[in-house]
């Protein structure tokens, strides 16, 4: 178990000394600053979530690679958790078409190495910092098949949009067979009135790459544009643009 994991576990056990909690806060701030510096010039991103466990010959890997290539053609930077499996497939799809690809990798005792299809990545120690960064730079979220982590990211994005903490960016739940029981459960939430009927409109549930692309064009590009703020690099901070934008 890494020192970062041990410190996070200890922090979540309850009240610590004021000094320990202050020092932990400084570590978290440092992680945010590292993430901001790495991703500040990434441009408008679409974040793709999915399992690290699928291999290159798996159908979900191939679908993700194809879909991400089409998204990259729209001008978006593909952002992932930076690891293997679906994340690698998404970043690889961007590179297949000459697109841009970044990652926000979590440091774990396993599944922690960055995949080889990234133009830029940052290694983050804490899950909550990583999730914030994945959401901060995104104009849309694509949810591919995955496990607990993917579901966590899906519902985090859905909650942020539902509560209007972030703008109403598209959330695409891809691979209908895989996610059928999940959508059945969400329908159950609607029937029990724990969510509103219109909340289901926040999700595009599809198997179609063409439908997903049209959804992004209508609900991301046409609604918000790709006129992403182009912050000016500061030389005294050793900053530089990550990509050349047209």
Q: Which domains does the chain have, with CATH numbers?
A: 3-224 (3.40.50.450)
The one-digit pLDDT tens for each residue of the chain (246 residues) are 556 567 777 777 888 889 988 999 999 999 999 999 888 888 889 999 999 999 999 999 999 999 999 999 999 999 999 999 999 999 999 999 999 999 998 876 655 578 999 999 999 988 899 999 999 999 999 999 999 999 999 999 999 999 998 878 999 999 999 999 999 999 999 999 999 999 999 999 999 999 999 999 998 887 776 655 566 666 656 566 666 554
- 195-217 residues labelled b (16+ CB within 10 A) or e (exposed): beeeeeebbbbeeebeebbebbe
Pair of tokens at residue 127? 């899950």
Rounded CA separation 183/180 (Å): 5
CB atoms within 10 A of CB 37: 13
CA torsion through residues 190, 195, 200, 203, sign: negative
Contact 153, 131 (CB under 8 A): yes
Question: Looking at the chain, how many residues does it have?
Answer: 246
Rounded CA separation 124/126 (Å): 6
Say what the pLDDT of residue 107 is: 79
Q: Global pTM? A: 0.88
Contact 44, 75 (CB under 8 A): yes
């Amino acid at each position: 178990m890494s020192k970062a994991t041990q410190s996070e576990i200890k922090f979540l056990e309850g009240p610590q000394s004021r000094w320990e909690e202050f020092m932990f806060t400084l570590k978290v701030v440092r992680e945010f600053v590292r993430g901001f510096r790495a991703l500040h010039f990434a441009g408008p991103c679409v974040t793709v979530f999915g399992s690290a466990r699928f291999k290159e010959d798996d159908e979900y890997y191939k679908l993700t690679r194809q879909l991400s290539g089409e998204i990259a053609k729209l001008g978006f930077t593909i952002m992932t958790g930076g690891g293997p499996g679906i994340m690698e497939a998404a970043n690889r799809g961007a590179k297949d078409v000459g697109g841009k690809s970044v990652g926000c990798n979590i440091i774990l005792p396993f599944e922690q190495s960055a995949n080889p299809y990234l133009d830029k990545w940052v290694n983050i120690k804490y899950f909550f910092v990583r999730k914030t960064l994945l959401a901060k730079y995104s104009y849309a979220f694509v949810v591919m098949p995955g496990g607990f982590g993917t579901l966590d990211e899906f519902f985090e994005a859905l909650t942020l949009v539902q509560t209007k903490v972030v703008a109403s960016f598209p959330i695409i739940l891809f691979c209908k067979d895989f996610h059928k029981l999940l959508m059945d459960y969400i329908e159950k939430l609607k029937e029990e009135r724990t969510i509103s009927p219109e909340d289901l409109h926040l999700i595009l549930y599809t198997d179609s790459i063409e439908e997903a692309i049209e959804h992004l064009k209508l609900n991301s590009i046409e609604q918000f544009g790709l006129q992403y703020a182009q912050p000016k690099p500061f030389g005294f901070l050793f900053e530089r643009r990550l990509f050349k934008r047209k």
